[in-house]
Amino acid sequence: MPDPTATEEASQVQAPFESWGRYPTYGAKLLPLHWQSDFPALTADLHNGALPVGMGRSYGDVCLLKDGNLLVTTAMNRLINFDAETGLLTAEAGVTLAQILDFAVPRGFFLPVSPGTKYVTLGGAIANDIHGKNHHTAGTFGCHIAQLELVRSDGSHMICSPTENPEFYSATIGGLGLTGVITWATLRLKPIVSRKIDYEGIQFHGIDEFLDLTNQAHDVEYTVSWVDVTSTGRNFARGVFMQGDHSTKKDDLKPSPKPKLVFPFEAPGFALNALSVSLFNTAFFHKQIHKRVVAVQDYEPFFYPLDKVLRWNRMYGKRGLLQFQYVIPWEHAKEGTIAILHEVAKSGLASFLAVLKAFGDAPSPGMMSFPKPGITLALDFPIKPDKSFPLFQRLADMTLEFGGRLYPAKDAAMTAPQFQAFYPQWQHFAQYRDPLLTSSFWERVTQNS
């Protein structure tokens, strides 16, 4: 039988902890937190800073700390309380959204907001104030956090809510894990009667058609679009607009099966190139024969199509991938999106996971939250050092010119001046940062101040 002490010591060594983009890669000491009381007990022996982390599903370096200490929260994954009348679920911060769904769906409840993967922790969802397909109807994840507990490195505990320690509540939602360790949180779930989604997929050509469909779907709960960023000419900005509502027809609320597929190998760096992605995009656009398709589908492929294959990030090869996500406010959203899509097409770099969506006007409670009303576009690219980083700098500068900003949870390339222009409130936020906690992202984007 293994010695648990030896296992614990073995985990406290320099070990790779990758973000989902697998870039950059830094060594750090991994310190698992098993209980809510573990963090204050550790602080006396920590040097070079610390950062609470979960599943490592952020794409860049917000979940990394070079040569520091990563406080891994995934063992703090217990459900604490559930009120079936109100849908209020209290759980430790290391529980994943997948675990919450396994518990909640058979009881007739669903996440109020979900990102494109369910393999993120509750704490990570709060720290990055994630958004989903229903931002225009439900706002961000933080809008549904009734309260949370924050533990600081000085050992103090705070209950944070819109009415209790509201300034720390605001700083912690979207606060990149820097205000303290979130030990537990209370999330407001939404009722459902079926696993099914009443789905509709509609082909569009160009940003004007995308905007028309967006306006027509104002009352549909979930909307998102895939857009072809490799095509030019008459096929420029073609895509598929996907919308859906939870079915109101009662159905079996069984839990989801566990995924069985794992991406089996590191794909060679040349596998994702302009030609292969262009062919994929053409096939994806035409996979629905008719312009408009109506169907009833399970929530898993609607919300989490990529979760079906674990470790799918391996298809980008050992160099990894870069994500780029902006939001540009409505005033310049159309012209900015068209200009950026032209710049991407001109670059010759291929992105096939291109997601286009309109954010609504529900304000986020987070001081540093990313969403604001306008158009958001998320792109990912295999890393080609001589092309990717120059392109990202141009795209970031264009985003700034159009009054937008980038998403820290997706970023590995933003410069300090860009970040400080995107988030001018960052110095106010810094007042609430725990002095022990930092990240490679934070060190990078505040280094000149």
pLDDT at 7: 38
Q: pLDDT of 262-311, one tens digit each? A: 777 677 666 667 767 777 777 777 787 789 999 999 999 999 998 988 88
Q: Full-prediction pTM beyond 0.95?
A: no
Split at pLDDT 50, 70, 90, the class of 14 is: low
Mean pLDDT of 69-89: 97
pLDDT, tens digit, 9 for 90 and up, residues 357-415:
999 999 999 999 999 999 999 999 888 888 899 999 999 999 999 999 999 999 999 99
Residue 6's pLDDT is what?
37
Structure confidence by residue, pLDDT tens digits, 328-353: 999 999 999 999 999 998 888 878 78
One-letter amino acid of 79? L
Report the pLDDT value the prediction gives residue 4, as an integer from 0 to 100. Answer: 36
Q: What is the pLDDT of residue 269?
A: 66
Cis ω before 166 (30° cut-off from 0): no
Q: Burial level of 135, CB count in 10 A (0-12/13-18/19+)? A: buried
- Percentage above 90 pLDDT, the chain: 75
Q: What is the pLDDT of residues 123-171, one digit of tens each?
A: 999 999 999 999 999 999 999 999 999 999 999 999 999 999 999 999 9
Element (H, E) at 135: helix 135-138
Cβ atoms of residues 445 and 414 within 8 Å: yes
The predicted pLDDT at position 5 comes to 35
Provide the H-helix boundaries in 156-295: 166-172, 207-216, 274-285
State the virtual CA torsion across 276, 282, 283, 287 in degrees, nearest 10: 160
Span 230-241, pLDDT tens digits:
888 888 999 999
**Residue type for 254, please?**
K
DSSP state of 121: B
Question: For residue 449, what pLDDT is reported?
Answer: 57
* Rounded distance between C-alpha atoms, residue 446 and residue 204, angstroms: 41
Q: Write down the pLDDT at residue 308.
A: 86
Whose tokens are 């859906």? That residue is: 244
Three-point CA angle 164, 169, 171, nearest 5°: 145
- Could you tell me the CA-to-CA distances from 316 to 22, 58, 270, 273 in Å, in that order? 9, 16, 9, 10
CA 266/CA 436 separation, integer angstroms: 36
Q: How far apart are CA 28 and CA 68, in angstroms?
A: 5
**Is the per-residue pLDDT at 50 higher than 50?**
yes
Classify residue 339 as exposed, middle or buried by CB count within 10 Å of its CB (0-12, 13-18, 19+): middle
